[in-house]
């Protein structure tokens, strides 16, 4: 979900899965998606800093996935001893409050396995920082779906320098990357895109096949 994606729901037919990438600093922002989809997958980060996470009804439906940027290829015991964000107590509190809510923890090696692939296909050396939540969400959806339509990951003509839809903070690095390897992620998505350049320019839309339909 980006600031330039607002208003795009009119383009969407009724669909069965929607991946929404959040960092959980919503502060009253209305996403307007509850009536638009049957199942939502929320890829979430920083559950340690958002107190509303345990109370907001937004996080009591769909499927939740939390990830933490571990040390490069750390195994689970090493990561558990020293996570970047110690969300485990919040996770346990949430599970007690919502025992039937699907809420998964992403394997800590997965972001770095993706980083290895991005580095392998890139001509330049990339800083060893984990991929963005957006890119992780795309990979998860490619695992689950036959086709994935992505909006505003490749910027359209509406591109702005707003970092997040919930903040009035402007920085072009939020689009092209400072910490996360965003530029390299976008190059990979552009390479995999099966849609048109016109769709990218007008709507910020890229279309990717799911992994089960990709033939190398």
The number of beta carbons lying within 10 Å of the beta carbon of residue 144 is 16
pLDDT tens digits along 152-176 = 889 888 777 776 655 676 666 666 6
How buried is 131 (Cβ within 10 angstroms: 0-12 exposed, 13-18 middle, 19+ buried)?
buried
- 152 Cβ neighbours under 8 A, 6+ residues apart: 2, 4, 5, 8, 158, 204
Rounded to the nearest integer, the mean pLDDT of the chain is 78
The single residue listed with the structure tokens 């499927």 is 63
Q: What band does 70 get if pLDDT is binned at 50, 70 and 90?
A: confident
Cβ proximity of 152 and 2 under 8 Å: yes
Q: Which two tokens stand for residue 208?
A: 């990717």
Cβ atoms 87, 47 nearer than 8 A: yes
> What residue ranges do the domains of the chain occupy?
3-209
The stretch 71-98 carries a mean pLDDT of 90
Beta bridge partners of 170: 162
Q: What mean pLDDT comes out for the span 7-28?
A: 47
Q: Three-class SS of residue 214?
A: coil
Please choose, from the candidates 87, 179, 63, 64, the residue with its C-alpha nearest in 3D space to the C-alpha of residue 132.
179
The CATH number assigned to the domain with range 3-209 reads 3.90.1480.20
């Amino acid at each position: 979900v980006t600031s330039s994606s607002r208003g795009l729901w009119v383009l969407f037919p009724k669909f069965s899965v929607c991946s929404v990438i959040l960092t959980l600093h919503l502060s009253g922002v209305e996403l307007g998606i509850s009536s638009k989809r049957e199942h939502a997958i929320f890829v979430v980060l920083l559950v340690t800093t958002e107190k509303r996470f345990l109370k907001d009804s937004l996080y009591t439906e769909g499927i939740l996935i939390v990830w933490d940027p571990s040390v490069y290829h750390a195994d689970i015991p090493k990561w558990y001893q020293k996570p970047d964000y110690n969300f485990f107590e919040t996770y346990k509190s949430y599970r007690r409050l919502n025992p039937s809510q699907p809420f998964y923890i992403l394997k800590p090696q997965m972001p770095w396995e993706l980083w290895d692939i991005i580095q392998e296909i890139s001509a330049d050396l990339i800083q060893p920082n984990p991929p963005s939540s957006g890119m992780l969400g795309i990979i998860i959806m490619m695992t689950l779906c036959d086709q994935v339509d992505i909006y505003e990951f490749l910027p359209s003509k509406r591109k702005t320098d707003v970092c997040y839809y919930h903040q009035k903070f402007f920085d072009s690095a939020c689009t092209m990357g400072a910490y996360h390897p965003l530029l390299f992620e976008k190059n990979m998505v552009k390479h995999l895109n099966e849609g048109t350049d016109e769709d990218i320019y007008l709507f910020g839309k890229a279309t990717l096949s799911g992994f089960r339909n990709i033939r190398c």
